[in-house]
Amino acid sequence: MLNYKVMVPTGLMTLFLLPAHGMAQEDDMIITAARRAEQARDYAGSVSVFDAKRLRALAVVHPAELLNEAAGVNIHRGSGQEHLTAIRSPVLTGGAGAGSFLYLEDGVPLRAAGFGNVNGLFESAIESAGRVEVSKGPGSVLYGSNAVHGLINVLSPAPMADNGVSLDILGNENGYVRLLAGNDGAALNGRYHIGLSLAHDPGFRADSGYDQQKLQIRHDAQLGRWTLKTLVSFQNLNQETAGFILGNKGYKDKGLALSNPNPEAFRDAKSARFALHFNREGKSGNRLSFIPYARWVDLSFLRHFVPGKALEDSGHQSLGLISTYEGAIKGGRFTLGLDSEFTKGSTREFQAGPRAFSFVQGEHYDYAVKALVLSPYGQLRFDLGTKTKLNLGVRADYTHYDYNNRIDNGSFGRFLRIADRQDDYFTLAPKAGLTHQINDHLSLYGRYARGNRAPQVSDAYSLQINQTPGAIRPETLDSFEAGLKAITGAIRFDLSLYAMRKNNFFFRNANGFNVENGKTHHKGVEIEFTAPLGRYLTLSGAASYAKHTYAFTDIVRTASSSIRKGTPVDSAPKTLGFVQIMVRPTDALSLSAKLQHVGKYFTDPGNTARYEGHNIITLRGTAMISPRLSLYGRVDNLLDTRYANRADFAFGSERYFPGRPRTLFFGVRIKS
């Protein structure tokens, strides 16, 4: 029992003093906030952590299966590997979805800031990661554009001390099969890890299969006083995409739920990344870090989610450098850094077939953009006594776009193709955090942070006839947060409350028209916990209650959106969460049952259509046959519930991505 002076019933205290299995490891450390290990209690903010043990237990085939166990996170699963993200936010689409969340690989963005991918998590190696951290709300000073509502850092597995090969084979009753292979060894005065992922899924809906391959190579070495980590990643996705089914509660019709109204839809994506992490520790804990990196992305897909169903081809190539220095000052420490990145990208959108609504046949857009981003930042950390720490920081982001139109200027249906131009954006993001350690087990924190982002390239240059070139302004979000963290042995608890205001919100309304200067408010409370119930049982869970509302009215300008100030934002359930009970009768055997909850939510901005929400049960089990052989399995959607992974209302129709019916997965792990 924790020892502190608050009058709370003993039984209630035992149940609620604990953060989720996701919140922190046994050593109570996080990595993302400072790009190095630090105690979670010293960070003024909420970070959910999934360590290697938890990742193996979940054996995810889609990022939503993992990330929806973090409080306040809601990943809407699309077809195949597609998804939309919410972190302390509504589920966001288009440029808002691509630009409001930062996806990282070992602290390096998976994509350039202005060239985000709304489905960007499929480009990560999340199924074979060594650790995943979810930071909620605006990021620390180390992270700029896109770290608005939150960030997800997928950390590569470190090379093992022993040489060997590992195999993990997973399949299901419908023909899904995935191979994860790993090899650890010594080479080039260091140690390496090679991870390979090969997945084939025929899909549970018609014409919805995919094949995906991922390769990741990591090498760790010591070069004098420098430590060097080299990371190379590659992924390839070939997907036949199933589109929305239409009709009121169409997901409840089993035949309709298994159909595919868009058998012609597809998504082909390739990406490659290379990064060198140089770190040097000096006297007094001083630390110098350089991370030069390069990335290449190529994407082609059919825009099945809009009436025109245009073909979009895009890609970009980047070179970047992340540099940071940490040093000591009297009574505290400081951090100084500069992030720099240069990107060349292009986008082409072509409409084949006849005119659909105002989507005209032929070229919609064809342009190239060069982007330069420079981001200096600094932070001071002071000790206000032995148990209280104050963090003050600020980050500046300068973004320059050089846009080149490669087809005729002018309007084309609803599309506006603008002349060559250059645009510059500058933002400042102040941060302030206070932590106080009540005792060895309990800590409090308070935080103010601004998140911001320059417009996505697609938002700035794929314009519509109701827009004016250069009118889009950087989006800003001001966040206030307070929380309580507790950890003692296996008991963990994380409670956080937040309030956020967002300005210059750029999004597309229900009829596909761009809105440039929206405003929204966000308030919520989140809880994550884990607690042993005796010797063999463990209870864990996460829950959030949030209100996301429009703070402006948009009726006259775009006529169809019907947005009124103070009304709920669509695709924003008030309640989210899960609860899980695990029994471990022996060290070699574990069984668990989990209930995942998504509350009801409006599916259109005018709040005229609604999804009723759902509750889904998953059973899991693992048996260690020997130290080198394990068997595991799970049953998804145990009660075969008819539900929707995503529901929305657009272009005059209720639309759904139906959830997968009851499915049995079975796997085997082998280590040499």
pLDDT score recorded for residue 17: 32
Which amino acid is located at 616 in the chain? I
Which of 25, 28, 2, 21 lies closest to 13 in space, CA to CA? 2
| Residue 200 counted as domain residue | yes
Q: Tokens 């950890």: give the residue.
A: 487
Domain assignment present for 662: yes
Residues 209, 355, 300, CA angle at the centre, nearest 5°?
35
- Residues 281/287, Cβ–Cβ less than 8 Å: yes
CA torsion, points 288, 289, 290, 291, in degrees to nearest 10? 180
What are 250-253's contacts with CB under 8 Å, separation 24+? 250/654, 250/656, 250/658, 251/642, 251/643, 251/644, 251/647, 251/656, 251/658, 251/659, 252/642
pLDDT of residue 219: 98
pLDDT at 93: 92
Structure confidence at residue 500 (pLDDT): 98
CB 606 within 8 A of CB 555: no
Whole-number Å distance between alpha carbons of 366 and 346:
8
The Cα-based distances of 61 to 127, 172, 248, 478 in angstroms read 7, 11, 29, 35
In a domain, 5, yes or no: no
At 488 the pLDDT is 85
Would you state the pLDDT for residue 509?
74
Range of the domain at 642: 10-671
Does residue 3 lie in a domain region? no
> Judging by beta carbons within 10 Å of its beta carbon (0-12, 13-18, 19+), is residue 436 exposed, middle or buried?
middle
How many residues in the chain? 672
How far is Cα 277 from Cα 636, in angstroms, rounded to an integer?
Answer: 39
Does residue 470 fall inside a structural domain? Answer: yes
**What domain count does the chain have?**
1
For the chain of 672 residues, list the mean pLDDT of each consecutive stretch of 10. 34 33 54 88 94 95 97 97 97 93 98 96 97 96 94 97 96 97 97 98 97 98 96 98 96 96 97 98 90 98 90 98 95 96 97 69 94 98 94 98 96 92 97 96 97 95 90 96 92 96 86 82 98 95 98 67 89 98 96 98 93 98 97 98 96 94 98 92
Give the CA distances from residue 540 to residues 49, 69, 294, in Å, rounded to whole numbers and listed in that order. 14, 10, 40
CATH number, domain at 205? 2.40.170.20
Q: Is residue 2 situated within a structural domain?
A: no
Domain assignment of residue 105, yes or no: yes
Q: What is the DSSP string of 154-185?
A: EEPPPPPSS-EEEEEEEEETTS-EEEEEEEEE
DSSP 360-384: -SEEEEEEEEEEEEEEEEEEEEEES
- Domain assignment present for residue 245? The answer is yes
